[in-house]
Structure 1
Amino acid sequence: MRNAAVLDILFYFVFPVMVWNYTKEPLGDYYAMLLSAVPGILYTLYRFIKFKRINVFGIFIISTLIVSTTVDLLSGSGINLLWNNVYFHVGLGGFFFITLLLNKPIVLYFSLDFAELQGYDRTSMKTRFYQKDVINIFRLITIGFGLRSFILAGLKVWLIKEYGVNAFDKGLLAENIISWGMTGLCFYGLIVINKRLQHPKKEASSKIS
């Protein structure tokens, strides 16, 4: 967990900011922004490959990576890239809420992927996850992720209006702080879910073994 946190900070904040600061003068704002995205893209691909299988979480990661990278490449200028990132976060937040409307909170399916990777039967775990007191927590976590995207979008709008293209590194910092705050809340929610499933989970693990 600690190593993952350090790597996240390095590849999603430290390295991008370093690339941005060292290349914006010789390359210009737009190309410096594109280049600064490379460490995060490579790290995301590494984490995807590490799972060694296609699942809902993997498809989500690759899809968002493809969309965000395509948006960046088509932006044409630094300021357009920043504004397009705002629209991307609005769209991402909308996606989380759509999964709620469909009664398929995406975080529940992420958790199913991780449970399956640990050896649990996906079908039986899905039945447990859809218990009323459990799915409500998954809904709250999904709402949290949706709100995170909307808050980030609003914050980036303010930063762009205040700092223009110089909002780039400030936006990265804000994104990492909010993301880690959301990760903490998500982790707490999963602990609560685990406690509620603790007794059934013991039975499930004994059947699998």
Structure 2
Amino acid sequence: MPKNIIIWDLICYIAFPLAIWNFGRDIVGDYYAMLISSLPGIIYTIVRFYLTKAINFFGVFMISTLIVGTLIDVLAGSAIQLLWNNVYYAYALGLLTLFSIVIKKPIFLYFFLDFAVMQGYDRQESKKLFYRPKIYFVFCMITIAFAFRDLLLATIRVWFIKEYGVEAFDQGILVRQALGWTISGICVFGYLKIIKLIKEYTKPSTLAEQ
């Protein structure tokens, strides 16, 4: 799956949801079409979770947000309320992400820490390294980018809902994925920067100076 992740993202997060929404709404109604259209993404996320075997902070965070997101959709009761619930949820996630920086536990740092442990590195030593000023700053910047994505998505959805009503659903799918890919690009850049800094910090000469 990793080699074809963009294709699978397109299929499960965009193609299937849009197809179900556009062809199913006349049959089951707007609200149920929205609920059903989320199933491919949910199933795909669970499969990715299983394949990475991420039973750690990253895995718990991913599954928790998936469960909460599904619950607020199911409990919405109507199509327009479902859209507004997604707005509130995106704002909440964005603020939670920013709060993780305030308490000096940037979410992206802990994601990266999980991946380092999965590669065989010691958690405590890696954590100590990640909190070095320059590396920690990059983690904070990437975490802010994640928060900005959620806050911007929520704001755009507000405009879509006020402008188009329930017709904003398919635009929301496209904007969400576009922002997701943009943030992924930022994460890749941040990852490369972090790797470079780690190499600098772990040079024998650097260690001797410290």
Same fold by TM (over 0.5)? Answer: yes
Report 1:184-199 matches (<5 A).
184-199=185-200
Residues 121 and 35 (structure 1 numbering): CA distance in 2 closer, same or farther, change over 3 Å? same
**C-alpha offsets along residues 99-123 of structure 1, whole Å, 9 cap, x if unaligned?**
0111000100000011111111111
Scaled by the length of structure 1, the TM-score of the pair is 0.94
After TM superposition, the structure 1 = structure 2 runs for residues 1-12 of structure 1, keeping only pairs within 5 Å, are 1-12=2-13
Which residue in 2 is equivalent to 1:206?
A: none
Which residue number corresponds to residue 94 of structure 1?
A: 95
SS in 1 for 2:75: helix
The aligned amino acid for 1:112 is L
- Matching residue's letter, 2:9: D
Deviates more, 1:46-55 or 1:34-43: 46-55
- Aligned counterpart, 2:208: none
Any residues of structure 2 matched to 1:132-171 within 5 Å, and which? 132-171=133-172
RMSD value, Cα: 1.3
Partner Cα separation in structure 2 for residue 2 and residue 49 of structure 1 = 16
Q: 1:62 aligned to 2:63?
A: yes
Q: Which runs of 4+ in 1 moved over 6 A?
A: none
How much identity, in percent, do the aligned residues show? 47
Structure-1 residue corresponding to 2:104: 103
Following TM superposition, by how much is the alpha carbon of 1:26 offset from its aligned partner in structure 2, in angstroms? 0.5
SS at match of 2:121: coil
For 1:201 and 1:24, how far apart are their aligned partners in 2? 57
Summarize deviations over 1:103-158 as a string: whole Å, max 9, x none. 00010000001111111111111111000000000000001100110000000000
Match of 2:131 in 1: 130
In the TM superposition, residue 70 of structure 1 has moved relative to its aligned partner by 0.2
**CA shift in 2, pair 1:164/1:129, >3 Å:** same
- More divergent stretch after superposition (104-113 vs 7-16): 7-16
- Taking the aligned partners of 1:100 and 1:52, their CA distance within structure 2 comes to 26
Q: Write the distance in 2 (CA, Å) between the matches of 1:91 and 1:5.
A: 27
Distance 1:44 1:135, change over 3 A: same
SS of the residue 1:75 aligns to: coil
For the residue of structure 1 that corresponds to 2:85, the secondary structure is: helix
* 1:96 aligned counterpart, secondary structure: helix
Shift of 1:199: 4.5
1:22 aligns with 2:23: yes
Instruction: Find out whether 1:75 has 2:76 as its counterpart.
Output: yes
- Residue identity in the other structure for 2:74: L
d(CA) in 1 for partners of 2:59, 2:104: 21
Separation in structure 1 between the aligned mates of residue 19 and residue 30 of structure 2, nearest angstrom: 13
Q: CA deviation at 1:51?
A: 2.3
SS in structure 1 at match of 2:194: helix
Question: CA distance change for structure 1 residues 140 and 86 in 2, over 3 Å: closer, same or farther?
Answer: same
The number of residues matched between the two structures is 203
1:90 offset after TM fit, Å? 0.3
- The farther-off stretch of 73-82 and 120-129 is 120-129
Partners of 1:53 and 1:77 in 2: how far apart?
34
